[in-house]
Amino acid sequence: QVQLVESGGRLVQAGGSLRLSCAASGLTFRRYAMGWFRQAPGKEREFVASTRGSGGAPYYADSVKGRFTYSRDNAKSMVYLEMTSLKPDDTAVYYCAAGERVIVSSLSRPSAYDYWGQGTQVTVSS
């Protein structure tokens, strides 16, 4: 079965950096759009970054542009999120998601994705 396992979340001070990883298994990785989403307490899950399986430049939420860098390694079935200049507002559980038929206009929609990881907690202290 499909498994997505996130790692790398921890407590970090504002201005610091973190690298999140997502290991995917049980799917033909290159066929899937892979996205990062996050959910803070009391808030809805929100889009962070994603690419389609066919490649192309990553799409980012405006709130993370210039600070976060998304990358994927199709040979290793891995997705990464390099986060810099972290702010307390970045505090959330970060989720990795996979979607097989995700068109570009739907990359930011959680409902477009078929599979989700359990999440990794990122806490940014002020």
- Give the pLDDT confidence of 24-41 residue by residue, as tens digits: 999 999 999 999 999 999
Q: 93: which 2 tokens?
A: 């559980």
pLDDT at residue number 65: 97
How confident is the model at residue 89, as a pLDDT?
97
Give the model's pLDDT for residue 53: 82
Residue 18 clears pLDDT 90, i.e. is over it = yes
pLDDT at 1: 95
Instruction: DSSP for the chain, please give it.
Output: --EEEEE---EEETT--EEEEEEEESS-GGGSEEEEEEE-TTS--EEEEEEETTEEEEEE-TTTTTTEEEEEETTTTEEEEEE-S--GGG-EEEEEEEESS--GGGTT-GGG-SEE---EEEEEE-
Tens of pLDDT, residue by residue over 70-118, are: 999 999 999 999 999 999 999 999 999 999 989 989 999 999 999 999 9
Q: Could you tell me if 51 and 78 are in contact, meaning their C-beta atoms sit under 8 angstroms apart?
A: no
Residue among 17, 114, 13 nearest 64 (CA): 17
Q: Does residue 54 have a pLDDT over 90?
A: no
